Structure 1
Amino acid sequence: MKAVGVIVEYNPFHNGHAFHLEETRKKSQADVVIAVMSGQFLQRGEPALLPKWVRAQMAVLAGVDLVIELPYQFATQKADTFAFGAISLLGAIGCNSVCFGSESGKIDDFWATLDFLESNKQEYDHKIKFHIDQGVSYPTALSRAFLELQPHESIVDLSKPNNILGFQYVKAIQDLNLDMEALTISRTNANYHDEDFTSATIASATSIRKAMFAQNGTLEEIEPYVPKTTFNLLHEYAKQYHQFHQWENYWTYLRFRILQASTEELRNIYEVDEGLENRVITAALEANSFHDFMTRIKTKRYTWTKLQRMCTHILTNTTTAEMRQRMTHPSYIRLLAMNDTGRLYLNKWKGQAPIPLVSKLSSFQQDDIALDVRASRIYALGATEEKQQALLEMEYKQPPIYISNKKRKGIL
């Protein structure tokens, strides 16, 4: 069976994702679509709106055949590490191709950009260091260094978020020496960071979440922008758990973690660097909300995203040593959800997988998966008090979700 991979967060799954899936099947001519999906915390350093199990269910109901989890140590990282982990897993589960959305829409330009930067690597690295020394953020330094190399027309614009990720996916394929075809699809209508609705049916996940968390926001406002199955699952989760997950849910826990820690303990946390521990403690003493806290620690040198990722690691008590130990290569494939096609593919592939397939947490070496388990424990605290236990138990008791093709057709 021919497999194509997609790298996703589905926070939540929306009509733009549905378009991407449809085009992925057309471009790849694959028999099975495999999604590697971030778990409870995401690449921008945010708690997912919904638990990974619910988002995996959204994915399968919308047409993904198999969903696997991108481990915490890759999911909560800057673009290169995020991409390395995701592409490694898609390679380990036998994907012949990967298809991603981009502002460019031209795959040849990504390979040309990779060649261009490798040819100018020494100068590029020198320019990046120069701009970082000037006190700007790492992404800004990358963007300025790139433009100063005066790239020609067929070079991808690496100031665009999806182009940046796409470039890193292509680079990871090359670095891992994988026999995997890279495909790309142009993003349509809504841009990644758009905060407002600009189309009748297509909206960014950012704008959807903003509408959901608005003071008088209702789920009905986002109904035109998500598939019926997504809308129903959002409604069901709101009814059962009473609220969705956002950083403000975790502010009390984050503040406690900061204020009970010594400066040395904070320095050992991943991404707490260059004296940030002192700034973090001072801000935690004075802030009255997560947004207030973030505003107080934000500087020109650090992006909001980098600081959110740092907060995620403080919240989960994840040290630099732990992350570096686990960032080499993924050591397992955790199964989250599948349909009949995904199950058939797994049955054919499982004997060839170079790393273990994990369907039961109790049957796998706990130390290897410890970061994911800890992240899920902390994530559960973002639910209302009477619902936290249910989310805590889900990490241990929930088997991979199976939705038969027949059942999916009945729901649709």
Structure 2
Amino acid sequence: MKAVGLIVEYNPFHNGHAYHLQSAKETAQADVVVAVMSGNFLQRGEPALVSKWVRTKMALLNGVDIVLELPYQFATQKAETFANGAVSILDAIGCHSLCFGSESGDIKSFVQTVDYLDSHKEIFDENIKKNIKTGVSFPKALSLSFQSLSSTENLVSLEKPNNILGFHYIKALKHQKSPIIPLTVKRKNADYHDEHFATETIASATSIRKALFASKENNSPIEQYVPDATSRLLKEYLNDYGNFHEWEHYWNYLRLRLLHCKPEDLRDIYEVEEGIEHRLIAGALEAANFKEFMQKIKTKRYTWTRLQRICLHILTNTKKEDMIRTTDKATYLRLLGMTAMGKEYLNKFKTQFTLPLISKLSAYKENDIYLDIKASRVYSFGLGNQTQNKLLNQEFKQPPIYVE
């Protein structure tokens, strides 16, 4: 049985994801699709629209065979760390290939770009440091450094979000010496950050979420952009829990944390550095909501995404010591769900996996997974008081989802 790996967030699963999934399976000639999916909080430092369990069910009902959780210590970090964790999981479970979506669609250019920058690493890193000193953000410094080195060779543009992730996936495969074969599928129609519907059937997850929050009704105008299973599960979640998750629902908790802490306490939190703790406390004193708070603390140096990640780590009380001890690779495989085909694959190859497979939290005692548990507990506070407990207890009570 040949498995192709996907690295996903599915926030929520839409028609573009369905196209990528099917294309990946066909391109890789795979029997099984394994998805490494972020948990309840995502790479941009945001809460997922709906819980990881519902997003797992979306994935399984739409063609994924195995869903594994990307741990918090990788899922909520910069692209390089995010990629390292996800690739290590796909490698540990024995995937034959990894297929990602990109604006480029040319896998050779990704490989050549990684090789090119590895051979020019010293000057590339030095240029990044010089650009950061001018006050620009790290992603901008990376882009400027790349442009200064770029030759006439067939290199991929590192200005597009999916190209950047793809570059880091290839880099992780190379540096981890993984035998996984990289593949890429060109993104169809909608750009990653599009806030408006681009075509009649394909839309970005950003535009879908925007439409959902704008309507706040069961009959939201997204049906043509998502599979039936996604539409049904979103409606069920809204009925069961009363709302979808967004940062505004966590604002009071974040504000309490910020105003309760001394600056020196905040300095212990992961990614809080360069004196930004004072700016955070000042913003919390003045802002009436999360959006206003973000606008007050935003600077040229700190991107919106980086600030959201800092806020998330403050919210979850994730300290530098919790994350610094993290290696480049995951230490466990957390099974969230499987199909009959996925179950067959697990039964056949689990003795060959290079990391422990966890289907019950009670069976795993290592400290690493505590970050996931803590994040799930905090995530439940984005709901009303009457529905918090249901989600709060799900982390321990929910077995892996099975779809025949």
Are 1:74 and 1:327, in contact at CA under 8 Å, matched by a contact in 2? no
Map 1:226-245 onto structure 2 (within 5 A).
226-245=226-245
Are 1:107 and 1:182, in contact at CA under 8 Å, matched by a contact in 2? yes
Q: Work out whether 1:129 is the aligned partner of 2:129.
A: yes
Are 1:7 and 1:100, in contact at CA under 8 Å, matched by a contact in 2? yes
CA RMSD of aligned residues (A): 1.0
Map 1:290-369 onto structure 2 (within 5 A).
290-369=290-369
1:266 maps to which residue? 266
Identity %: 58
- C-alpha displacement at 1:218, in angstroms? 6.0
1:27 maps to which residue? 27
User: For residues 25 and 91 of structure 1, what CA distance do their matches in structure 2 show?
Assistant: 17
Are 1:212 and 1:219, in contact at CA under 8 Å, matched by a contact in 2? no
User: For residues 328 and 165 of structure 1, what CA distance do their matches in structure 2 show?
Assistant: 16
Map 1:12-411 onto structure 2 (within 5 A).
12-152=12-152, 154-214=154-214, 219-404=219-404
The AA in structure 1 aligned to 2:316 is T
- C-alpha displacement at 1:153, in angstroms? 5.2
Gapped regions of structure 1 (runs ≥ 5): 405-412
Greater mean deviation of Cα atoms: 365-374 or 38-47: 365-374
User: For residues 335 and 21 of structure 2, what CA distance do their matches in structure 1 show?
Assistant: 19
Are 1:211 and 1:217, in contact at CA under 8 Å, matched by a contact in 2? no
- Partner secondary structure for residue 101 of structure 2: strand
- C-alpha displacement at 1:154, in angstroms? 1.2
- C-alpha displacement at 1:353, in angstroms? 1.4
The AA in structure 1 aligned to 2:180 is M
Are 1:73 and 1:327, in contact at CA under 8 Å, matched by a contact in 2? no
Deviations 1:253-294 (A, max 9, x none): 000111111111100101111001000000001110000010
Gapped regions of structure 2 (runs ≥ 5): none
User: For residues 216 and 320 of structure 2, what CA distance do their matches in structure 1 show?
Assistant: 40
How many pairs align? Answer: 404
- Partner secondary structure for residue 185 of structure 1: strand
Deviations 1:222-255 (A, max 9, x none): 1110000000000100111110000000000000
- C-alpha displacement at 1:318, in angstroms? 0.1
User: For residues 329 and 115 of structure 1, what CA distance do their matches in structure 2 show?
Assistant: 21
Deviations 1:186-242 (A, max 9, x none): 000000000101100000000001111126776431111000000000010011111
- Partner secondary structure for residue 35 of structure 1: strand
Are 2:212 and 2:220, in contact at CA under 8 Å, matched by a contact in 1? no
User: For residues 397 and 322 of structure 2, what CA distance do their matches in structure 1 show?
Assistant: 25
User: For residues 257 and 68 of structure 1, what CA distance do their matches in structure 2 show?
Assistant: 31
TM-score after normalising by structure 2 = 0.98
Are 1:211 and 1:218, in contact at CA under 8 Å, matched by a contact in 2? no
- Partner secondary structure for residue 222 of structure 2: helix
User: For residues 46 and 17 of structure 1, what CA distance do their matches in structure 2 show?
Assistant: 20
2:8 maps to which residue? 8
User: For residues 109 and 215 of structure 2, what CA distance do their matches in structure 1 show?
Assistant: 43
User: For residues 152 and 195 of structure 2, what CA distance do their matches in structure 1 show?
Assistant: 31
